[in-house]
Chains A and B, each alone.
Chain A
Amino acid sequence: MTSLFRLTIATMLARKMWAVVLLASILTPIIFPLLTPYETNTALLEPARAQTAWTCTWIVAILWTLSQAARFGESNSNSGMGSYFRSQGVGALRQIFALWGAVMLSLLPVVLISVAVCLIFAMPADPKEASMWVWTNLQFATLLLLAIGPLALLGVGASSRFGALIGYVVPTGLCLYGLYGVTYLGMTIRLRDDNKILEWLYALSPQYHLADLTPRLIFKMGHLPWPEFSGFLLYFLAITVVASSLATLLFRTDPLGN
């Protein structure tokens, strides 16, 4: 497993996209808010930085992390690497987690940069607010990783079987639907009373918007109450179990279906 993990990390480093991603993660939240007419209300500058930092992280996770997951899943299956490692006794489960681990490890610095930007460049002056700010950012980081992690695993699994396009489009579609589509579905249900199908669809939909704590940061609403946060954790862990099971069922180490 360590060899495949190391090879995946080496491949990502060689592609050099990580440099662009890290640079964008650092510079975007610092520079973009300065391009707005922030002079009219300088108090908005700090929440704007936090918003930009986390929006940038979501974009990186969706555009980069999920696409990397799809590429590695497909190439492991098609390049002969999956067969090679399996002949050495590295089974499918260890392979998928080696690929996934490397992909998620590449997202970790981006998440940490967002937290750091929020704590260094957007920290509230009030000590009570500052404490809440720290916890909100840590909760956000945890929930974002818990939301993207299973989607990346699904990407690796699906792309190894159906190709990189499917392996990218499906998790990305699920993520965007869970972030935005579900909210619109909820509004539709409220407008149309007693539509059981839509209600079931809503209940079964992945509620990824729960992992987006940007409004809490912008409006300084404080961190999630701990019981609520624990509930969110359990919800995303349940999604993790479902997505992991599906991903490992889909994953294959060679194009012939093994």
Chain B
Amino acid sequence: MSAPQARPRVGLFVTCLVDLYRPTVGFAAIRLLEQAGCQVEVPRAQTCCGQPAYNTGDRATSRDLARGILDAFGGFDYVVVPSGSCGGMLREHLPHLFDDDPNLKARAAALAARSYELVAFLVDVRGVSVVDAAYAGTVTYHDSCAGLRELGVKDQPRRLLGSVAGLRLAEMAEPETCCGFGGTFCVKYPAISTRMVADKTRDIAASGADTLLAGDLGCLLNMAGRLKREASPVRSRHVAEVLAGMTDQVPPIGEARERG
């Protein structure tokens, strides 16, 4: 690894789900990136990475969205995403949208090469090995598919979680098996998706953990929603909230909070 750049300008790609469902993850990402010596900006002209269109086969819409992303994020040293799935879209898929346009393809390839999933960026690019956070509990970590297989996110979150005071990690069986979210898959094929997430919540429960962590909000909404329906006591959070030490500022996913 080359020496980290002094104070890189990072464009935070918030993701549509964090924007709508879990703003804390965005603020956790900003805190972690600033602690890692980055200057963080959040371009206003961002909406979605385009996966709903891309994975439905609507290439034209994903291209149109990608052009906007190139304009909004082209000037940053890095683009960081608190999601392996959206990170994978930017890093692995964006350039292929422009296979027939060398000019845009070159711009997309340059952007893709500077795009990272949040935790992988902290560890692999910024050399972060410990975080300043505490969490009293036993957590289990689900490896979201795109982060794992497209971006190689596997050890990085576990390494940083190992530095969280009071936290114990209990691995579930098959942490690398898909939870059944799959974007629009979960609403197009709900019967199959439900069986998949029920197998997953069975493994989560068997791990003995009190908290489920993952790096992707889509998977988390799916698993948390199923845990709730099963009246499970296991709580769900995005890994960034724990790493940023922000768990006291917001209750677990879906838990109502009366104060503040």
A binds B: no
Which positions in A face B, CB cutoff 8 Å? Answer: none
Which positions in B face A, CB cutoff 8 Å? Answer: none
